[in-house]
Amino acid sequence: MHKSDGAPATQPPLRRGLGLREAVSLGVGGTIGGGIFVLIGQGAALAGPGVLISFGLAFVAALLIALPYAELSCRYPLAGGGYAMTRQVLGEHWGFVMGWSFWGGYIFVSGYVIVGFGGYLSALTGLPVVLGSLLLVAVCTAVNLGGVRLSGRWQNVVILLGIVVLAVFAFGGVLSLHPDLLASFLPAGLGGVAAATLVTFLAFGGFDMVAAAGEEVVEPRRNLPKAIILTLFLVLGLYVLVALAAVGTLSPEQLATEAPLADAAQRLAGPAGGTLMAVAALLTTAATANAVLIVTSRISFAMARDGLLPARLASVSRSTRVPWVTIALNGALFAVIAATVSIPLAAKIGGFLYVLHFVFPLVVLVVTRRRKLPSGEQDFRIPAVWLVMPLAFIACGCLFLTSGLIGLSGGGVWLLIGLVCHFSVVFARRRNAIGNQGSDDGGKQRG
């Protein structure tokens, strides 16, 4: 393993066992989660049928960001992904900002996923949305605190069910379009399309799973970019068909609910269709919420273990061997977000922070290339880097702007809280180090 991997020389490399088909399956499964079941309503409310253009713009932004991430995953196949890359290349302070942004992004992302679950549960049972959302948080937290590992096979079955139901709905809806609903294609103009682009970009979240597995992909220089591009194109195709079916079945106002696709499916196929869509959405959003809890608890645990957050957060249960403090903390944060934050607010703040966490790996790649750090023969390198990198930064900047004042201010408050917490930990650590050094010097003098 070459030096830029950041791993000890004695550590064996990961086995390259993922071919192109397996890598694409990983990417599609990681991308198509609970977001599309919820965000399509918000996107349609902002842009109307113009949300179809928003999906195309979000796809371009995702592709521009994914290609640099792919190159980095080959250069730095480290546990912790972009956080570990940023910390190693830019230092612990920037590593903290990246990790804190990543953590906050997924905390707020959990809001629309969990509230979406509550909405679909309400459509099925009449249970209040907030109560259903909190019930999901309680179950996910209890499952993770108990150290129960949901099998990857179960997760794959749930995602496959969601894809099948979405595909059937999409083709049925496209064949039964109501042209009058598409007549006013841009009711909010290009501003609505831009605002919906951030929302639709969140629906593409998960493409980085392919890049993160770069060290395990066979012939990564050839298969990695193909897998990323195929993943994004397959997901784009499904999303556009689902969006077209939705806006061609219900008006934007009718889609602006917590269970938009269940309402559309019911209009299209009757109560049975609405029920089937709601069940698929429940299972998929529940699986996504559980995955988000795992991700957020592990990133906060890793930051505490690295000395960037209070050491108490790095506690591991002796019986279940899970980071129980961060699981409980993130479960509590999920509950607060689900009970107090609306889906549009969660999408704007979460979108701002989610996009921000991609900026740091882009900077890392620029720094790495300027330092001309060595890379292995199989490393993937971005084609036309002189064009892709500037466009990737521009795409991030445009997505920042679409988050609006709410996203900027909400994300700024989250970052400010993080910086206060981080520097409190740093100062306490330095004070303890000085105190320990003084004790050692005093002991030597007495000796």
User: Given a cut of 50, is residue 2 above it in pLDDT?
Assistant: no
Give the per-residue pLDDT at 164: 92
Residue-level length of the chain? 447
Count CB-CB contacts under 10 A for residue 37. 32
Nearest to 38 by CA among 386, 418, 368, 342: 342
Assess whether pLDDT exceeds 90 at residue 356: yes
pLDDT at residue 439 in the model? 57
Predicted local confidence at residue 220, as pLDDT: 72
- pLDDT value of residue 443: 55
Out of 237-246, 391-400, 426-435, least confident range: 426-435
For 182, residues 6+ apart whose C-beta sits below 8 A from its C-beta are 49, 247, 248
Q: Is 255 exposed, middle or buried (0-12, 13-18, 19+ CB in 10 A)?
A: buried
pLDDT band, very low/low/confident/very high, at 200 (cuts 50, 70, 90): very high
Does the pLDDT of residue 74 top 80, yes or no? no
Give this prediction's pTM: 0.84
Q: Which of 443, 371, 422 lies closest to 95, judged by CA?
A: 422
- Longest Cα separation, the chain: 91
Q: Which residues pair with 217 in a beta bridge?
A: 18
Q: Identify the CA nearest to 315 among candidates 299, 327, 330.
A: 327
Give the 3-state secondary structure percentages of the chain, helix then strand then coil, rounded to 5.
Answer: 80, 0, 20
Enter the tokens of residue 271: 């109560």
- Residue 311's pLDDT is what? 85
Task: For residues 163 and 194, give the distance between their C-alpha atoms in angstroms, rounded to a whole number.
Answer: 27
Region of 177 (left: φ > 0; alpha: ψ -120 to 50; beta: rest) is beta
Residue 149 has pLDDT above 70, yes or no: no
User: pLDDT tens across 10-56, in order?
Assistant: 445 546 666 787 778 777 877 887 778 988 999 999 999 999 999 99
Give 442's pLDDT tier (boundaries 50, 70, 90).
low
CB 13 within 8 A of CB 318: no
Q: With contact defined as beta carbons under 8 Å apart, do 273 and 148 qualify? A: no
What pLDDT score was predicted for residue 6? 41
- Are 178 and 268 in contact by the 8 Å Cβ rule? The answer is no
- Residue where the block lists tokens 């253009």: 53
58's tokens = 């979000």
pLDDT band at residue 341 under the 50/70/90 scheme = confident
Q: What is the pLDDT of residue 69?
A: 82
Show the tokens assigned to 9. Answer: 């020389």
Say whether 141 sits in a helix, a strand or coil. helix
CA dihedral 432, 433, 435, 440 (to 10 degrees): 140
Read off the pLDDT of residues 342-352 as tens digits, 9 standing for 90 and up. Answer: 888 888 999 99
Measured CA to CA, the distance from residue 412 to residue 29 in angstroms comes to 32
Q: Of 308, 320, 232, 304, whose CA–CA distance to 55 is shortest? A: 232
Q: Would you state the pLDDT for residue 8?
A: 39
Report the pLDDT value the prediction gives residue 379, as an integer from 0 to 100: 64
Model confidence band, residue 280 (pLDDT cutoffs 50, 70, 90): very high
Using the predicted structure, report yes or no on whether residue 99 has a pLDDT greater than 70. Answer: yes
Which residues make beta-bridge pairs with 18? 217
Q: Which of 3.40.710.10, 1.10.10.10, 1.20.1740.10, 3.30.70.260 is the CATH number of 17-432?
A: 1.20.1740.10
Look at residue 28 in the predicted model and tell me its pLDDT: 80
Q: Is the pLDDT of residue 373 over 60?
A: no
